[in-house]
Structure 1
Amino acid sequence: MPSPRVTLIVAVAKNGVIGRDNALIWRLRSDLRRFRALTMGKPVVMGRKTWDSIGRPLPGRRVIVLTRDPAWEAPGTEAAAGWDEALRLAGDAEEVMVAGGAEIYALALPHAHRIHLTEVDAAPEGDARFPPLPASFREVAAEAHPAGPEDEHGFRFVTLVRQPGHDTCERGKPSHNSGCGDGTPGPSQKP
Protein backbone atom coordinates (compact mmCIF):
# COMPACT_ATOMS: atom_id res chain seq x y z
CA MET A 1 0.00 0.00 0.00
CA PRO A 2 1.51 3.38 -0.98
CA SER A 3 2.08 5.93 1.76
CA PRO A 4 -0.30 8.89 1.88
CA ARG A 5 0.87 12.34 0.84
CA VAL A 6 2.07 14.20 3.95
CA THR A 7 0.98 17.82 4.38
CA LEU A 8 1.98 20.05 7.29
CA ILE A 9 -0.40 22.77 8.46
CA VAL A 10 1.07 25.41 10.76
CA ALA A 11 0.91 29.05 11.84
CA VAL A 12 4.37 30.57 12.38
CA ALA A 13 5.40 33.99 13.68
CA LYS A 14 8.12 36.05 11.96
CA ASN A 15 10.64 34.73 14.52
CA GLY A 16 9.72 31.06 13.96
CA VAL A 17 7.63 30.75 17.13
CA ILE A 18 4.55 28.52 16.94
CA GLY A 19 3.51 28.45 20.60
CA ARG A 20 4.19 29.08 24.26
CA ASP A 21 3.30 26.95 27.26
CA ASN A 22 1.59 24.41 24.98
CA ALA A 23 -0.83 26.99 23.55
CA LEU A 24 -1.26 29.29 20.57
CA ILE A 25 -0.08 32.83 21.21
CA TRP A 26 -2.46 34.70 18.90
CA ARG A 27 -6.12 34.92 18.03
CA LEU A 28 -6.67 34.40 14.30
CA ARG A 29 -10.21 33.20 13.61
CA SER A 30 -9.51 33.18 9.86
CA ASP A 31 -6.64 30.75 10.41
CA LEU A 32 -8.84 28.43 12.49
CA ARG A 33 -11.46 28.40 9.71
CA ARG A 34 -8.74 27.60 7.15
CA PHE A 35 -7.41 24.80 9.38
CA ARG A 36 -10.88 23.28 9.57
CA ALA A 37 -11.49 23.54 5.81
CA LEU A 38 -8.11 22.05 4.85
CA THR A 39 -8.22 19.17 7.34
CA MET A 40 -11.90 18.20 7.05
CA GLY A 41 -12.35 14.54 6.10
CA LYS A 42 -8.65 13.72 6.45
CA PRO A 43 -6.57 12.01 9.13
CA VAL A 44 -4.84 14.60 11.34
CA VAL A 45 -1.59 13.57 13.05
CA MET A 46 -0.51 15.51 16.13
CA GLY A 47 1.56 15.06 19.23
CA ARG A 48 0.09 14.38 22.64
CA LYS A 49 0.85 17.91 23.88
CA THR A 50 -0.98 19.41 20.91
CA TRP A 51 -3.89 17.10 21.62
CA ASP A 52 -3.87 18.25 25.26
CA SER A 53 -4.04 21.89 24.14
CA ILE A 54 -7.04 21.15 21.87
CA GLY A 55 -8.63 18.83 24.40
CA ARG A 56 -11.45 17.50 22.26
CA PRO A 57 -12.06 15.45 19.11
CA LEU A 58 -12.09 17.30 15.79
CA PRO A 59 -15.46 16.66 14.10
CA GLY A 60 -15.18 15.15 10.64
CA ARG A 61 -11.52 14.14 11.05
CA ARG A 62 -9.65 11.11 12.33
CA VAL A 63 -7.19 12.24 14.99
CA ILE A 64 -4.00 10.19 15.33
CA VAL A 65 -1.94 11.17 18.37
CA LEU A 66 1.78 10.38 18.51
CA THR A 67 2.72 9.53 22.09
CA ARG A 68 5.53 7.78 23.94
CA ASP A 69 3.06 6.53 26.57
CA PRO A 70 1.77 3.08 25.50
CA ALA A 71 -1.16 3.36 27.94
CA TRP A 72 -2.34 6.75 26.64
CA GLU A 73 -5.84 6.99 25.23
CA ALA A 74 -8.48 9.66 24.74
CA PRO A 75 -11.98 9.55 23.28
CA GLY A 76 -12.11 10.31 19.57
CA THR A 77 -8.44 9.55 18.93
CA GLU A 78 -6.14 6.75 17.88
CA ALA A 79 -2.71 6.50 19.54
CA ALA A 80 0.50 5.79 17.62
CA ALA A 81 3.92 5.08 19.11
CA GLY A 82 5.82 6.31 16.04
CA TRP A 83 5.64 7.85 12.59
CA ASP A 84 5.25 4.57 10.67
CA GLU A 85 2.43 3.49 12.96
CA ALA A 86 0.67 6.84 12.46
CA LEU A 87 0.82 6.37 8.68
CA ARG A 88 -0.41 2.80 9.04
CA LEU A 89 -3.37 4.02 11.11
CA ALA A 90 -4.16 6.55 8.36
CA GLY A 91 -4.90 3.52 6.18
CA ASP A 92 -5.57 4.23 2.53
CA ALA A 93 -6.03 7.98 2.97
CA GLU A 94 -4.60 9.97 0.06
CA GLU A 95 -3.37 12.75 2.35
CA VAL A 96 -2.41 13.01 6.02
CA MET A 97 -2.41 16.42 7.70
CA VAL A 98 0.23 17.05 10.37
CA ALA A 99 -0.85 19.61 12.99
CA GLY A 100 2.14 19.80 15.36
CA GLY A 101 3.66 20.48 17.74
CA ALA A 102 7.29 21.34 17.21
CA GLU A 103 8.67 17.79 17.68
CA ILE A 104 6.07 16.30 15.35
CA TYR A 105 6.73 18.93 12.66
CA ALA A 106 10.46 18.13 12.84
CA LEU A 107 9.67 14.41 12.54
CA ALA A 108 7.26 14.88 9.61
CA LEU A 109 9.08 17.59 7.62
CA PRO A 110 11.43 15.19 5.76
CA HIS A 111 8.34 13.25 4.59
CA ALA A 112 6.25 16.30 3.62
CA HIS A 113 5.09 17.02 0.10
CA ARG A 114 3.23 20.24 0.95
CA ILE A 115 3.02 22.83 3.72
CA HIS A 116 0.02 25.06 4.40
CA LEU A 117 1.71 27.88 6.28
CA THR A 118 0.15 30.87 7.98
CA GLU A 119 2.85 33.53 8.33
CA VAL A 120 1.81 35.64 11.32
CA ASP A 121 2.97 39.26 11.34
CA ALA A 122 4.16 39.16 14.95
CA ALA A 123 7.30 38.17 16.85
CA PRO A 124 6.12 36.94 20.26
CA GLU A 125 8.19 35.17 22.87
CA GLY A 126 7.64 31.43 22.76
CA ASP A 127 9.06 28.05 23.66
CA ALA A 128 8.04 26.10 20.55
CA ARG A 129 9.49 26.80 17.09
CA PHE A 130 8.90 25.48 13.61
CA PRO A 131 12.00 23.75 12.18
CA PRO A 132 13.97 25.46 9.40
CA LEU A 133 12.45 24.87 5.97
CA PRO A 134 14.56 22.91 3.48
CA ALA A 135 15.43 24.80 0.29
CA SER A 136 13.46 22.17 -1.66
CA PHE A 137 10.14 23.87 -0.80
CA ARG A 138 8.81 26.58 -3.11
CA GLU A 139 5.92 28.96 -2.61
CA VAL A 140 3.11 28.22 -5.07
CA ALA A 141 0.35 30.40 -3.61
CA ALA A 142 0.05 33.27 -1.14
CA GLU A 143 -2.76 35.47 0.10
CA ALA A 144 -2.23 38.45 2.47
CA HIS A 145 -4.77 39.45 5.14
CA PRO A 146 -4.72 42.52 7.40
CA ALA A 147 -5.46 42.47 11.11
CA GLY A 148 -9.15 42.94 11.87
CA PRO A 149 -11.90 42.29 14.41
CA GLU A 150 -11.40 38.50 14.24
CA ASP A 151 -7.65 38.50 13.63
CA GLU A 152 -5.35 40.33 16.05
CA HIS A 153 -2.38 40.32 13.62
CA GLY A 154 -1.95 40.60 9.90
CA PHE A 155 -0.94 37.32 8.23
CA ARG A 156 -0.37 35.53 4.94
CA PHE A 157 -1.73 32.15 3.93
CA VAL A 158 1.09 30.47 1.99
CA THR A 159 1.20 27.10 0.24
CA LEU A 160 4.63 25.54 -0.21
CA VAL A 161 5.32 22.44 -2.32
CA ARG A 162 8.44 20.28 -2.41
CA GLN A 163 10.03 20.67 -5.82
CA PRO A 164 10.65 17.74 -8.19
CA GLY A 165 14.06 16.19 -7.77
CA HIS A 166 13.92 16.63 -4.01
CA ASP A 167 12.41 13.35 -2.94
CA THR A 168 10.61 12.95 0.32
CA CYS A 169 11.40 10.11 2.68
CA GLU A 170 9.51 6.94 1.88
CA ARG A 171 9.49 4.56 4.83
CA GLY A 172 13.19 4.67 5.65
CA LYS A 173 14.52 5.63 2.21
CA PRO A 174 16.77 8.70 2.32
CA SER A 175 15.68 12.11 1.13
CA HIS A 176 17.85 14.15 -1.24
CA ASN A 177 17.79 17.21 0.99
CA SER A 178 17.75 16.05 4.58
CA GLY A 179 17.68 13.13 6.93
CA CYS A 180 14.56 11.04 7.14
CA GLY A 181 13.75 11.68 10.77
CA ASP A 182 14.70 8.10 11.60
CA GLY A 183 18.46 8.60 11.81
CA THR A 184 19.03 7.80 8.13
CA PRO A 185 21.11 10.59 6.57
CA GLY A 186 19.98 12.00 3.25
CA PRO A 187 22.48 11.98 0.35
CA SER A 188 23.42 15.62 1.01
CA GLN A 189 24.29 14.85 4.65
CA LYS A 190 27.44 13.24 5.91
CA PRO A 191 26.79 9.96 7.76
Structure 2
Amino acid sequence: MTLAMIVAIDEKNGIGKDNDQLAYISADLKRFKGLTTGHTILMGRKTFEALPKGALPKRRNIVITRQANYEAPGAEVVKSIGEALALCSDDQKVFVIGGGEVYKAFLPETDELYLTEIHHAFKGVDVFFPEYKSMGWEETLREGPFTDEKTGLTYNYSNLKRTGKFDCV
Protein backbone atom coordinates (compact mmCIF):
# COMPACT_ATOMS: atom_id res chain seq x y z
CA MET A 1 0.00 0.00 0.00
CA THR A 2 1.12 3.52 -0.79
CA LEU A 3 0.14 5.97 1.93
CA ALA A 4 -0.28 9.51 0.61
CA MET A 5 -1.33 12.82 2.13
CA ILE A 6 -3.12 15.55 0.27
CA VAL A 7 -3.31 19.01 1.80
CA ALA A 8 -3.46 22.73 1.02
CA ILE A 9 -1.04 24.73 3.19
CA ASP A 10 -0.31 28.41 3.54
CA GLU A 11 3.16 29.96 3.87
CA LYS A 12 3.34 28.96 7.56
CA ASN A 13 1.97 25.41 7.11
CA GLY A 14 -1.49 26.58 8.18
CA ILE A 15 -4.36 24.35 7.08
CA GLY A 16 -7.42 25.42 9.03
CA LYS A 17 -9.28 28.02 11.01
CA ASP A 18 -12.50 27.66 13.02
CA ASN A 19 -13.05 24.03 11.88
CA ASP A 20 -12.83 24.93 8.20
CA GLN A 21 -10.16 25.03 5.52
CA LEU A 22 -8.41 28.32 4.87
CA ALA A 23 -9.48 28.83 1.25
CA TYR A 24 -11.65 27.29 -1.41
CA ILE A 25 -9.73 27.21 -4.68
CA SER A 26 -11.82 25.67 -7.45
CA ALA A 27 -8.92 24.10 -9.37
CA ASP A 28 -7.50 22.65 -6.14
CA LEU A 29 -10.85 21.06 -5.26
CA LYS A 30 -10.99 19.50 -8.75
CA ARG A 31 -7.42 18.22 -8.33
CA PHE A 32 -8.34 16.73 -4.93
CA LYS A 33 -11.34 14.96 -6.45
CA GLY A 34 -9.32 13.68 -9.42
CA LEU A 35 -6.52 12.29 -7.25
CA THR A 36 -8.67 10.71 -4.53
CA THR A 37 -11.62 9.30 -6.49
CA GLY A 38 -11.52 5.51 -6.52
CA HIS A 39 -9.25 5.36 -3.48
CA THR A 40 -9.65 5.09 0.29
CA ILE A 41 -9.53 8.37 2.20
CA LEU A 42 -8.68 8.55 5.90
CA MET A 43 -9.74 11.49 8.04
CA GLY A 44 -10.43 12.60 11.57
CA ARG A 45 -13.90 13.24 12.94
CA LYS A 46 -13.70 17.03 12.64
CA THR A 47 -12.67 16.77 8.99
CA PHE A 48 -15.59 14.43 8.31
CA GLU A 49 -18.00 16.78 10.05
CA ALA A 50 -16.69 19.71 7.97
CA LEU A 51 -17.56 17.96 4.69
CA PRO A 52 -20.59 19.88 3.38
CA LYS A 53 -22.45 16.80 2.08
CA GLY A 54 -20.98 14.11 4.33
CA ALA A 55 -19.00 11.14 3.01
CA LEU A 56 -17.27 11.83 -0.29
CA PRO A 57 -18.71 9.83 -3.20
CA LYS A 58 -16.75 7.25 -5.22
CA ARG A 59 -14.23 6.85 -2.39
CA ARG A 60 -14.02 4.58 0.62
CA ASN A 61 -14.31 6.95 3.60
CA ILE A 62 -12.71 5.96 6.91
CA VAL A 63 -13.12 8.22 9.96
CA ILE A 64 -10.80 7.99 12.95
CA THR A 65 -12.22 9.12 16.28
CA ARG A 66 -11.87 8.41 19.97
CA GLN A 67 -15.58 9.10 20.50
CA ALA A 68 -17.48 6.00 21.56
CA ASN A 69 -20.43 4.98 19.38
CA TYR A 70 -19.66 7.68 16.80
CA GLU A 71 -21.61 7.24 13.58
CA ALA A 72 -20.52 8.63 10.23
CA PRO A 73 -23.10 7.89 7.53
CA GLY A 74 -21.42 6.54 4.40
CA ALA A 75 -18.12 5.97 6.20
CA GLU A 76 -16.42 3.32 8.29
CA VAL A 77 -15.43 4.41 11.80
CA VAL A 78 -12.28 3.25 13.59
CA LYS A 79 -10.74 4.15 16.93
CA SER A 80 -7.02 4.24 16.07
CA ILE A 81 -4.37 4.79 13.43
CA GLY A 82 -3.44 1.10 13.61
CA GLU A 83 -7.02 0.02 13.09
CA ALA A 84 -7.32 2.35 10.08
CA LEU A 85 -4.13 1.00 8.49
CA ALA A 86 -5.20 -2.61 9.08
CA LEU A 87 -8.58 -1.92 7.49
CA CYS A 88 -7.03 -0.68 4.25
CA SER A 89 -3.87 -2.81 4.14
CA ASP A 90 -4.93 -4.42 0.85
CA ASP A 91 -5.61 -1.08 -0.88
CA GLN A 92 -3.23 0.10 -3.58
CA LYS A 93 -3.23 3.76 -2.49
CA VAL A 94 -4.73 5.46 0.55
CA PHE A 95 -5.03 9.23 1.01
CA VAL A 96 -4.93 10.94 4.40
CA ILE A 97 -7.05 14.10 4.06
CA GLY A 98 -6.87 15.69 7.52
CA GLY A 99 -7.02 17.19 9.99
CA GLY A 100 -3.97 18.35 11.86
CA GLU A 101 -3.76 15.57 14.45
CA VAL A 102 -4.36 12.89 11.83
CA TYR A 103 -1.67 14.33 9.55
CA LYS A 104 0.79 14.40 12.45
CA ALA A 105 0.04 10.79 13.41
CA PHE A 106 0.36 9.42 9.87
CA LEU A 107 3.31 11.52 8.63
CA PRO A 108 6.03 9.07 9.76
CA GLU A 109 4.34 6.32 7.69
CA THR A 110 3.58 8.46 4.64
CA ASP A 111 5.15 7.70 1.26
CA GLU A 112 3.86 10.64 -0.81
CA LEU A 113 2.73 14.22 -0.24
CA TYR A 114 0.42 16.09 -2.61
CA LEU A 115 0.71 19.72 -1.57
CA THR A 116 -1.12 22.80 -2.69
CA GLU A 117 1.14 25.62 -1.51
CA ILE A 118 -0.85 28.83 -1.14
CA HIS A 119 1.37 31.91 -1.35
CA HIS A 120 -0.32 33.72 1.51
CA ALA A 121 -0.13 33.73 5.30
CA PHE A 122 -3.67 33.62 6.68
CA LYS A 123 -4.52 35.32 9.97
CA GLY A 124 -6.07 33.43 12.87
CA VAL A 125 -4.97 29.98 11.72
CA ASP A 126 -5.54 27.40 14.46
CA VAL A 127 -4.59 24.12 12.72
CA PHE A 128 -1.22 23.44 11.11
CA PHE A 129 0.32 20.74 8.95
CA PRO A 130 3.28 19.19 10.80
CA GLU A 131 6.87 20.07 9.92
CA TYR A 132 7.83 17.79 7.06
CA LYS A 133 10.68 19.42 5.14
CA SER A 134 13.50 17.85 7.17
CA MET A 135 12.10 14.33 6.82
CA GLY A 136 13.70 13.22 3.55
CA TRP A 137 11.52 14.11 0.54
CA GLU A 138 12.20 14.43 -3.17
CA GLU A 139 10.03 16.69 -5.28
CA THR A 140 8.65 14.70 -8.23
CA LEU A 141 6.38 17.38 -9.70
CA ARG A 142 5.98 21.14 -9.40
CA GLU A 143 3.28 23.05 -11.25
CA GLY A 144 2.39 26.71 -11.17
CA PRO A 145 2.22 29.34 -10.00
CA PHE A 146 -1.48 29.67 -10.68
CA THR A 147 -3.90 32.38 -9.59
CA ASP A 148 -7.43 31.59 -8.49
CA GLU A 149 -9.81 33.99 -10.25
CA LYS A 150 -12.37 34.02 -7.44
CA THR A 151 -10.06 34.54 -4.44
CA GLY A 152 -7.05 36.13 -6.15
CA LEU A 153 -4.79 33.70 -4.28
CA THR A 154 -1.60 32.48 -5.95
CA TYR A 155 -0.61 28.85 -5.40
CA ASN A 156 1.34 25.94 -6.83
CA TYR A 157 1.23 22.18 -6.67
CA SER A 158 4.15 20.17 -5.33
CA ASN A 159 4.25 16.37 -5.23
CA LEU A 160 6.87 14.82 -2.95
CA LYS A 161 8.06 11.25 -2.53
CA ARG A 162 9.75 9.92 0.60
CA THR A 163 13.47 9.27 0.13
CA GLY A 164 13.91 7.55 3.51
CA LYS A 165 11.83 6.47 6.46
CA PHE A 166 11.44 8.85 9.35
CA ASP A 167 11.81 7.56 12.89
CA CYS A 168 9.82 9.27 15.62
CA VAL A 169 11.95 9.67 18.72
Match for residue 79 of structure 2?
81
The answer to whether 1:43 aligns with 2:40 is yes
Q: CA shift at 1:17, angstroms?
A: 0.6
CA distance in 2, matches of 1:92, 1:29: 32
Q: How does 1:170-189 map to 2 (within 5 A)?
A: 177-179=166-168, 185=169
The answer to whether 1:144 aligns with 2:144 is yes
Higher strand share: 2
Match for residue 189 of structure 1?
none
Q: Which protein shows a greater Rg?
A: 1
Equivalent residues of 1:17, 1:128 under 8 A apart: yes
Q: Counterpart of 2:135 in 1: which secondary structure?
A: coil
Between 1 and 2, higher relative CO (CA 8 Å, sep ≥ 6) is seen in: 2
CA distance in 1, matches of 2:136, 2:58: 32
User: Which is further off, 111-120 or 49-58?
Assistant: 49-58
Structure 2: state its 5+ residue gaps: none
Superimposed CA distance per residue, residues 38-83 of structure 1 (whole angstroms, 9 cap, x where no aligned partner): 1011110000000111141111001100100120012101001111
Q: How does 1:109-124 map to 2 (within 5 A)?
A: 109-124=107-122
Equivalent residues of 1:27, 1:150 under 8 A apart: no
Match for residue 29 of structure 2?
32
CA distance in 1, matches of 2:167, 2:2: 18
Superimposed CA distance per residue, residues 108-136 of structure 1 (whole angstroms, 9 cap, x where no aligned partner): 10000000000001100200001001331
Matched residue type, 1:145? P
Equivalent residues of 1:27, 1:152 under 8 A apart: no
Equivalent residues of 2:26, 2:148 under 8 A apart: no
Q: CA RMSD in A?
A: 1.3
Q: How many residues align?
A: 166
CA distance in 1, matches of 2:150, 2:3: 30
CA distance in 2, matches of 1:50, 1:130: 14
* Matched-pair identity in %: 34
TM-score for both structures, normalised by structure 1: 0.83
Q: Counterpart of 2:82 in 1: which secondary structure?
A: helix
Q: CA shift at 1:84, angstroms?
A: 1.2
CA distance in 2, matches of 1:131, 1:162: 15
CA distance in 2, matches of 1:145, 1:89: 37
Match for residue 57 of structure 1?
55
Cα pair distance change 1:86/1:153, threshold 3 Å: same
